[in-house]
């Protein structure tokens, strides 16, 4: 069991940022309105994620760390229908297989909180402790028992930068959640959770970008798009500023990338890429998902339709901009 978990962990947990991603998604699934992520040493030695979500009932804690025990959905098709980000039921087991994990969790209905430790897949007894509603995960010494993988980690600075990128993306995809990131005891990001996307963009990207945005709000066919398109003046030489989320998920898609490119083509110099932040909502039935444990490539039943919706939404904003 523990070997299988370690192998599975290799698929899901590549680096500290993967741990943060899984724990953040669980917090979001738990309907938290505020989440704090604290990392030290690029997350290699210390990751703590605290949420004010629903908590885990005492008797379900050890089970939550078993592989596939808690899958929230039955099939890949459910993925975009059901509102939850988690679906494989293997994140916690994977993390616990390759790190030292401590969890303190309390549901609203219970009198006390529970504390549980598990390392290398070996769990201790659940203890009663005092704590507020919600869940705190502490993940220490990632890959402490898999030296080869530990060796493949980059420097704490690089691993930390991956975590910052990831937390920023999640903050942008969930403006309704207050998200805080503390890196080496310093406040790195703190969003208000008041739904204001522009505030979050300001916090992450700064003044120049924020003051050169065109608002997008379009609803066509079964696709609605909200967000911002950067004016061509703030274009960059790489694609890092292209953000788009589908039904709240951060995702990569060639079709959407191409649609953005085409909308900007008349306004853009070659080899320049715009800032975009698009929240795309679409009927889940129109999506095909090809799921890899860490990456998600989307296919659309009607790629042409999504292409046009994205391109036209951006084009409209660019045409009507005040020059």
Q: Is 86 in the site for ligand ADP (CB under 6 A)?
A: yes
Q: Where are the beta strands (DSSP E) in the chain?
A: 34-40, 46-51, 100-106, 113-119, 122-123, 127-129, 134-140, 178-183, 186-190, 213-220, 223-230, 242-246, 249-250, 276-282, 287-291, 296-300
With respect to ligand ADP, which residue has the nearer C-beta, 94 or 276? 94
User: Among ligand ADP, Mg ion, none, what binds residue 70 when CB lies within 5 to 8 Å by partner kind?
Assistant: ligand ADP
- Of residues 314, 320, 317, the one with CA closest to residue 258: 314
In whole angstroms, give the CA distance from residue 118 to residue 139.
Answer: 10
Q: Is 30 in the site for ligand ADP (CB under 6 A)?
A: yes
In whole angstroms, give the CA distance from residue 159 to residue 46.
Answer: 12
The closest residue (CB) to ligand ADP is 86
DSSP state of 301: T
User: Among Mg ion, ligand ADP, none, what binds residue 168 when CB lies within 5 to 8 Å by partner kind?
Assistant: none
Q: Among residues 16, 42, 53, 160, which is the contact residue for ligand ADP, using CB under 6 A?
A: 53
- Of residues 3, 8, 1, the one with CA closest to residue 145: 3
CB of 81 to Mg ion, least distance (A): 17
Q: What residues between 7 and 26 interact with Mg ion by CB under 5 A? A: 26
Per-residue string for binding with ligand ADP, 215-234, x by CB under 6 A?
--------------------
In whole angstroms, give the CA distance from residue 300 to residue 284.
Answer: 10
CB of 65 to Mg ion, least distance (A): 12
With respect to Mg ion, which residue has the nearer C-beta, 250 or 267? 250
Q: Is 191 in the site for ligand ADP (CB under 6 A)?
A: no
**Cβ atoms within 10 Å, residue 89:** 16
The residues with which 137 forms a beta bridge, in sequence order, are: 49, 103
User: Among ligand ADP, Mg ion, none, what binds residue 218 when CB lies within 5 to 8 Å by partner kind?
Assistant: none
Q: Is 86 in the site for Mg ion (CB under 5 A)?
A: yes
Residue numbers at the binding site for ligand ADP (CB under 6 A)? 22, 26-27, 29-30, 51, 53-56, 64, 70-72, 86-92, 135
Residue numbers at the binding site for Mg ion (CB under 5 A)? 26, 86, 91
């Amino acid at each position: 069991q523990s070997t299988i978990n370690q192998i599975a962990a290799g698929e899901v947990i590549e680096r500290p940022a993967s741990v943060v991603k899984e724990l953040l998604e669980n917090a979001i699934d738990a309907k938290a309105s505020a989440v704090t992520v604290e990392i030290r040493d690029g997350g290699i030695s210390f990751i703590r994620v605290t949420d004010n979500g629903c908590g885990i009932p005492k008797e379900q804690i050890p089970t939550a760390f078993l592989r596939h025990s808690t899958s929230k959905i039955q099939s890949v098709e459910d993925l975009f229908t059901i509102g939850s980000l988690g679906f494989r039921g293997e994140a916690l087991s994977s993390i616990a297989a390759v790190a030292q994990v401590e969890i303190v969790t309390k549901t609203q209905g219970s009198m006390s909180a529970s504390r549980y430790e598990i390392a290398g897949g070996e769990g201790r007894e659940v203890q009663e402790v005092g704590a507020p509603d919600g869940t705190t995960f502490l993940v220490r010494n990632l890959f402490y028992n898999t030296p080869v993988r530990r060796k493949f980690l980059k420097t704490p600075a690089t691993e930390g930068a991956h975590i910052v990128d990831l937390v920023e993306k999640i903050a942008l995809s969930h403006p309704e959640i207050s998200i805080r990131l503390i890196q080496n005891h310093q406040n790195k990001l703190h969003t208000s959770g008041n739904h204001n996307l522009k505030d979050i963009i300001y916090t992450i990207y700064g003044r120049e970008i924020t003051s050169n945005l065109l608002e997008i709000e379009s609803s066509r066919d079964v696709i609605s798009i909200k967000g911002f398109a950067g004016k061509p003046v703030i274009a960059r030489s790489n694609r890092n500023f292209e953000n788009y989320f589908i039904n709240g998920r951060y995702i990569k898609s060639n079709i959407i990338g191409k649609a953005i490119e085409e909308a900007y083509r008349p306004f853009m110099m070659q080899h320049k890429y715009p800032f975009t932040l698009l929240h795309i909502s679409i009927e889940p039935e129109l999506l095909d998902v090809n799921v890899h444990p860490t990456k998600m490539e989307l296919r659309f039943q009607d790629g042409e339709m999504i292409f046009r919706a994205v391109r036209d939404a951006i084009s409209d904003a660019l045409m009507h901009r005040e020059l």
